[in-house]
């Protein structure tokens, strides 16, 4: 037997087929990822292009790419140079320890990769960080002067708004680059013997010494520049009492920062000296002295000045700086023009006392938009797949030559209520839009406690839609579907459900979208891209999509405005209005900053949070400058966005207009009808009232003592939140005529539960922008403050609400209302300065405890001083409160409440033509039965939609009885 000796081991050559497959799969994966990325970018561009704002997206893309490249190069190039220099200048012959030899053995095979990989790694991080700061850089490049100077350094405030943030970013970035360069230089020098540590000795080669010393000098020089910049930052830093440089800052901190900056510059020079002469002692001693100096000059000395000089003499030393803060804060929040009026309120009610306030009492809103939402839904929803926003919005319209306050909402879709009918086809192609505006008078009610509608019904009818070109369809709203596909060639059969009623006995009417509301999906390529975007194969394969199809998405008005104007903080309360025959959403936009010198900082989230907005979301929370710089509209039919430069003097808006040119229109292009619906923004008013709680005073001594500090009262109905401001058409003391305005009240500021709920101030802002095209109302935005005298104690909202609850007569009436499984709901508590005092008005609603809940106005609570009245109508309550005759007429005068209506029961709706009178020639009994039949049919349809056949049978039987009675009346 022979054996073959084993030969040397050989490796199996790689299989070329496997390699080809692996490369092919890798390429395909990269292509798929790239195509998905392209689909996202291209569809975004399509969306912006369709709206006419593609320049906004191109600007963002360009800026981010440029800043990424700048950041990448600014980090990668110095790090690469530092590594290369440290390696190339290493000693050729260096005695290394065994441990370093081992390190080199490990590192050497990866050296080339590391020399390129480390700079690229840090470069990518720096690039992404720089791209996130593109807005700061672009604002610096496009900044403007403001014409206002700071009181400390005499610099234009534009320096703080535009330049200081940029310098801060640049210095922070440079510090990071130099610190990383210093670290990689030290590591490479150590690994290759330029820096040796051993036997209690540190040895550094000449080349490494020069490189390390120069990098360290540059790093310390950047810190010197940062310390110098910190002097200016003291004007925007929030202190213990106010924002801005105080006496301690001006006399200790700012000089100390200047000294430290010069000292740091000297230390940087000492590092340069070390690079030349090779002595490390001087810069190291200088660095140690710099640290000690920073503790003494930057910490100990300011503390000593604060404790031993300022604290015992606070008013004397701080008054000039508080005056600076008062002036700057009032300007930055737009409250410097506050008109203050002393108001010696009376608390006794006498006959005829409201005669001079007749116009105001006629406009008092008794329909609470936060409560009547379910009532509007029950009366006007028609089908379960419709819905209304809750709370409703407040607007005003001119009816028969008089301004009428109204609560409004639009009828939007609620696809969740389709139940088993939900499918991609129905959700996307059929149920595409809501229908019509519903509006009710704010100051009136029907006999059974329901709203008096100005506009209602399907098809719509009423006072608001008499324009022949009125477009009722709501494709873009706050509750629109995520996306819909609409449009069809001319002459094709409509697919979209328009509304559930048709001609000649048809049960529905269909329509086809005729506008330009979204990107085209008529070609296969776009269909593929949007199928990827929305992860839906139905978009790709549905035969319901044709060459004229458009895809509508990002349909919330607030989201649309935010995308085309990303520099704005938007008001949390967009509202719909009928303007020039179109339903449009009106949205207020703010420019914000937290860098205005000497202006106090406020938490935007806390300031705008109240009962109507308990958890607001904001992009920038702590701010000290705000302007309502833009008014935006979004067309509810085609989604078109229009931005108007409402405050073209705002320096931030001027800078943004240079960054995004041609996106804003001037106010001169606003129509008169649009102007008549513009109102003072809610969130801005909330921020201003938050500041005015402290900044209503004019002298520094009062501000320092806090002897007259106010705050917004808690909502008396929901005490966990602040009371929301409210819109009313009212004549303030000192005004010549009533004006649509917004109001709020103030009580003393307190700590903890120890509060005194009495009125100290009452704030109003004129919210009427006028009705002249392109011209703001002269008084629009005027802030008026009534300062209530301390001689007479005027109860605050919490105290009044407590009086209502504890009053024996009111409690008895409320107990009666709660009988029969009913709930009593207290509406908004309104405060009105009429009759020489403060009148409180609160509507009281009743609804069923379970089942169909339909709040109906049953009572009105009123209070003046210590007197309380609780009656069926506001007119009755006012007359009772003021000795039997108030001297004024309320909006519900002439209303005869129906005593027979069960609380919470479904009432008889008004005629769908928006009038309150029956058709001509119809008797009272016949009209009543017709209204009841209409109500029963609605209830029957609702029961059928819900599948409640027992309720359906009951309603059908009721309808049969009503028809029989109508037949009998006809025979009589």
3-state secondary structure 133-182: CHHHHHHHHHCCCCCCECCCCCCECHHHHHHHHHHHHHHHHHHHHHHHHH
Model pLDDT for residues 226-254, shown as the tens digit of each residue = 999 999 999 999 988 899 999 999 999 99
Angle at the Cα of 225 from the Cα atoms of 221 and 229, rounded to 5 degrees: 165
Collapsed DSSP state (helix, strand, coil) of residue 735: coil
Q: How many CB atoms lie within 10 A of CB 672?
A: 14
- At 335, give phi and psi (nearest 5°): -115, 15
Weakest mean pLDDT among 136-145, 187-196, 425-434, 843-852: 187-196
User: Which residue's entry shows tokens 């100390």?
Assistant: 256
Q: Quick check: 918 pLDDT over 60?
A: no
Helix (H, G, I), strand (E, B) or coil at 621: coil
d(CA 611, CA 681): 17
Tokens of 447: 């006999």
pLDDT of 878 over the 50 cut: yes
- Mean pLDDT in the chain? 88
β-pair type (437-441, 453-456):
antiparallel
The rounded distance, in Å, linking the Cα atoms of 352 and 835 is 9
Which are the contacts of 206, defined by CB distance < 8 A and separation ≥ 6? 278
Which is higher by pLDDT, 921 or 717?
717
Per cent of the chain over pLDDT 90 is: 63
Reported as a pLDDT band with limits 50, 70 and 90, residue 94 is low
pLDDT in tens, 721-730: 999 999 999 9
How far is residue 481 CA from its own chain's centroid? 21
Task: Give the model confidence (pLDDT) of 430-452 as tens digits.
Answer: 999 999 999 999 999 998 889 99
pLDDT value of position 12: 57
Checking if the pLDDT of 915 tops 50, the result is no
Q: Rounded mean pLDDT of 592-620?
A: 93
- 213 has pLDDT over 50: yes
Whether the predicted pLDDT of 928 surpasses 70? no
Average of per-residue pLDDT across 88-100: 65
Point out the least confidently predicted range of 8-12, 343-347, 411-415, 507-511.
8-12
> Does 33 or 95 have the greater pLDDT score?
33
Reported as a single tens digit per residue, the pLDDT across 31-45 is 888 888 898 899 999
Mean pLDDT of the 700-715 span: 91
744 close to 725: Cβ distance less than 8 angstroms: yes
Q: What's the average model confidence in pLDDT over 360-386?
A: 90
Q: What pLDDT is stored for residue 908 in this prediction?
A: 35
Task: Give pLDDT tens digits for 470-509.
Answer: 899 999 999 999 999 999 999 899 999 998 877 666 778 9
pLDDT bracket for residue 2 (50, 70, 90)? very low
More confident residue, 600 or 467: 600
pLDDT above 80: residue 710: yes
Contacts of 883 (CB under 8 A, 6+ apart): 349, 350, 351, 352
Kindly tell me if the per-residue pLDDT of 770 is higher than 50: yes
Q: How far apart are the first and last CA of the chain?
A: 131
d(CA 802, CA 804): 5
How many angstroms separate the CA atoms of 488 and 548, rounded? 5
Torsions phi, psi of 784, nearest 5? Answer: -125, 130
pLDDT at position 36 is 86
């Amino acid at each position: 037997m022979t054996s073959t000796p084993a030969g040397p081991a050989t490796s199996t050559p790689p299989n070329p087929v496997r390699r080809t497959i692996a490369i092919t799969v890798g390429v395909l994966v990269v292509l798929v990822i790239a195509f998905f990325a392209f689909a996202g970018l291209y569809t975004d561009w399509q969306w912006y292009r369709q709206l006419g704002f593609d320049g906004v997206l191109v600007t963002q893309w360009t800026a981010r790419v440029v800043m990424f490249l700048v950041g990448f190069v600014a980090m990668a190039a110095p790090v690469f140079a530092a590594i290369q220099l440290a390696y190339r200048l290493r000693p050729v012959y260096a005695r290394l320890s065994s441990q370093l030899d081992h390190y080199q053995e490990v590192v050497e095979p990866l050296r080339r990769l590391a020399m390129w990989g480390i700079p690229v790694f840090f470069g990518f991080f720096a690039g992404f960080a720089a791209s996130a700061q593109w807005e700061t850089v672009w604002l610096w490049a496009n900044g403007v002067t403001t014409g206002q100077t700071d009181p400390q350094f005499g610099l234009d405030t534009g320096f703080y708004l535009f330049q200081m943030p940029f310098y801060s970013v640049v210095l922070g970035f440079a510090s990071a680059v130099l610190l990383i360069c210093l670290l990689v230089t030290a590591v490479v020098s150590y690994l290759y013997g330029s820096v040796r540590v051993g036997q209690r000795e540190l040895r550094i080669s000449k080349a490494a010494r020069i490189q390390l010393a120069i990098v360290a000098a540059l790093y310390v020089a950047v810190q010197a520049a940062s310390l110098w910049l910190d002097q200016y930052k003291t004007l925007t830093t929030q202190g213990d009492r106010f924002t801005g440089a105080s006496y301690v800052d001006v006399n200790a901190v700012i000089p100390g920062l200047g000294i430290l900056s010069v000292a740091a510059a000297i230390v940087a020079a000492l590092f340069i000296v070390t690079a030349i002469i090779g002595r490390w002692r001087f810069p190291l001693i200088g660095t140690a002295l710099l640290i000690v100096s920073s503790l003494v000059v930057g910490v100990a000395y300011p503390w000593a000045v604060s404790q031993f000089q300022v604290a015992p003499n606070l008013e004397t030393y701080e008054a000039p700086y508080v005056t600076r803060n008062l002036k700057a804060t009032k300007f930055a929040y737009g409250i410097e023009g506050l008109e203050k009026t002393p108001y010696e309120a009376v608390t006794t009610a006498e006959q005829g006392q409201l005669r001079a306030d007749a116009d105001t009492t006629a406009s008092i809103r008794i329909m609470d938009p936060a409560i009547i939402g379910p009532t509007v839904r029950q009366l006007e929803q028609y089908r379960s797949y419709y819905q209304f926003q809750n709370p409703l919005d407040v607007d005003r319209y001119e009816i028969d030559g008089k301004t009428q306050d109204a609560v409004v909402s639009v009828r939007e879709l609620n696809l969740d209520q389709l139940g088993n009918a939900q499918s991609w086809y129905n959700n996307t192609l059929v149920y595409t839009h809501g229908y019509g505006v519903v509006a009710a008078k704010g100051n009136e009610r029907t006999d059974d406690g329901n709203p008096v509608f100005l506009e209602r019904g399907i098809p719509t009818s009423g006072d608001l839609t008499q324009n022949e070109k009125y477009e009722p369809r709501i494709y873009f709203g706050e509750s629109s579907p995520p996306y819909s596909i609409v449009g069809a060639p001319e002459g094709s059969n409509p697919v979209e459900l328009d509304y559930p009623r048709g001609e000649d006995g048809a049960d529905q009417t269909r329509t086809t979208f005729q506008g330009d509301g979204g990107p085209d999906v008529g070609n296969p390529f776009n269909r593929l891209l949007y199928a990827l975007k929305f992860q839906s194969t139905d978009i790709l394969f549905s035969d319901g999509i044709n060459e004229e199809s458009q895809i509508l998405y990002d349909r919330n008005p607030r989201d649309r405005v935010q995308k085309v104007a990303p520099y704005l903080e938007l008001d949390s309360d967009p509202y719909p209005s009928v303007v020039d025959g179109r339903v449009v959403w009106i949205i207020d936009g703010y420019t914000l900053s937290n860098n205005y010198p000497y202006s106090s900082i406020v938490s935007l989230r806390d300031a705008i949070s109240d009962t109507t907005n308990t958890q607001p979301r904001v992009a920038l929370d702590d701010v000290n400058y705000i302007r309502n710089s833009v008014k935006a509209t979004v067309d509810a039919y085609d989604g078109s966005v229009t931005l108007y430069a409402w405050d073209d003097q705002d320096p931030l808006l001027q800078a943004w207009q240079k960054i995004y040119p041609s996106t804003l229109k001037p106010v001169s292009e606003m129509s008169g009808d649009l102007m008549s619906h513009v109102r003072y923004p809610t969130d801005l008013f909330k921020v201003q009232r938050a500041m005015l709680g402290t900044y209503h005073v004019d002298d520094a001594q009062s501000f320092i003592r806090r002897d007259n500090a106010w705050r917004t009262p808690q909502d008396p109905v929901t005490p966990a939140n602040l009371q929301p401001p409210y819109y009313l058409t009212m004549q303030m003391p000192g005004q010549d005529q009533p004006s649509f305005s917004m109001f709020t009240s103030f009580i003393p500021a307190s700590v903890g539960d120890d509060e005194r709920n009495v009125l100290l101030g009452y704030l109003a802002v004129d919210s009427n922008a006028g009705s002249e095209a392109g011209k703001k109302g002269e008084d629009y935005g005027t802030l008026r403050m009534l300062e209530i005298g301390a001689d007479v104690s005027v109860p605050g909202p919490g105290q009044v609400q407590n009086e209502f609850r504890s009053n024996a007569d009111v409690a008895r009436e409320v107990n009666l209302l709660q009988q029969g499984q009913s709930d009593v709901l207290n509406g908004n508590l309104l405060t009105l300065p009429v009759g020489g005092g403060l009148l409180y008005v609160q509507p009281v609603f009743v609804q069923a405890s379970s089942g169909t809940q339909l709040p109906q106005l049953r009572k009105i609570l009123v209070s003046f001083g210590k007197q309380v009245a609780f009656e069926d109508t506001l007119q009755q309550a006012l007359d009772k409160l003021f000795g039997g005759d108030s001297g004024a007429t309320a909006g519900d005068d002439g209303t005869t409440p129906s005593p027979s209506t069960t609380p919470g029961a479904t009432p008889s709706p008004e005629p769908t033509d928006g009038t309150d009178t029956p058709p001509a020639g119809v008797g009272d009994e016949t009209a009543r039965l017709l209204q009841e039949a209409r109500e029963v049919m609605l209830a029957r349809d609702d029961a059928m939609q819900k599948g409640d056949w027992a309720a359906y049978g009951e309603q059908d039987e009721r309808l049969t009885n009503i028809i029989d009675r109508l037949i009998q009346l006809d025979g009589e």
